[in-house]
């Protein structure tokens, strides 16, 4: 909260994200090996073409100003092998949430990369159920 997506990613978009006016897109060929780390180059490229979309530029450049984290319990799922948002940065995000949120922020760590919803949906689903069960 109060940070842009770019700030969360370390302050820069990186060479794989291109801005075209009000929209930005992911350079699939250049970035898929990072986003889908753990897959072969061909599989990463296929996943990138399947799951990667165009985003509104404001979704990355404007800070979040209001969020449910101030009003509901939160479980943050750390992705230990994330090359986009490294684990250390994820831990900083959790500390930021804890410093502003009156409710407890629980954490779960899965041994996955940035896209568990695409590459390990069963692992992610199990973590979500675990998070819900902690309440």
Specify the pLDDT at position 15: 79
Phi-psi region of 38 (alpha: psi -120 to 50; beta: other; left: phi over 0): left
Whether residue 125 has pLDDT greater than 70 = yes
Whether residue 91 has pLDDT greater than 90 = yes
Worst-scoring range by mean pLDDT, 7-11, 26-30, 94-98, 131-135?
Answer: 7-11
Tell me, yes or no, whether 72 and 54 share the same domain.
no
Tell me, yes or no, whether 40 and 75 share the same domain.
no
Tell me, yes or no, whether 115 and 74 share the same domain.
yes
In this structure, the number of other CB atoms found within 10 A of the CB of residue 131 comes to 17
Specify the pLDDT at position 112: 96
Tell me, yes or no, whether 48 and 79 share the same domain.
no
What is the pTM assigned to this prediction? Answer: 0.78
Percent over 90 (pLDDT), the chain? 30
Whether residue 51 has pLDDT greater than 90 = no
3-state SS track over the chain: CCCCHHHHCCCCCCCCEEEECCEEEECHHHHHHHHCECECHHHHHHHHHHHCCCEECHHHHCCCCCCHHHCCCEEEEEECCCCCCCHHHHHHHHHHHHHHCCCCEEEEEECCCCCHHHHCHHHHHHHHHHHHHCC
Tell me, yes or no, whether 57 and 75 share the same domain.
no
Picking from 22, 43, 61, the residue at the C-terminal end of a domain is 61
Give mean pLDDT, residues 1-30. 79
Picking from 61, 81, 108, the residue at the C-terminal end of a domain is 61
| pLDDT bracket for residue 99 (50, 70, 90) | confident
Alpha-carbon distance 44 to 29, whole Å? 9
Tell me, yes or no, whether 45 and 82 share the same domain.
no
């Amino acid at each position: 909260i109060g940070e842009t997506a770019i700030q969360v990613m370390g302050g820069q978009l990186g060479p794989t994200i291109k801005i075209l006016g009000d929209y930005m897109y992911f350079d699939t060929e250049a970035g898929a090996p990072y986003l889908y780390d753990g897959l072969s180059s061909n599989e990463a490229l296929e996943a990138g073409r399947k799951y990667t979309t165009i985003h509104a530029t404001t979704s990355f450049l404007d800070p979040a100003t209001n969020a449910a984290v101030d009003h509901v319990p939160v479980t943050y799922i750390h992705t230990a092998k994330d090359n986009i948002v490294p684990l250390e940065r994820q831990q900083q995000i959790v500390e930021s949430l804890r410093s502003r949120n009156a409710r407890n922020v629980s954490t779960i760590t899965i041994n996955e990369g940035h896209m568990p919803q695409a590459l390990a949906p069963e692992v992610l689903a199990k973590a979500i159920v675990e998070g819900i069960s902690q309440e």
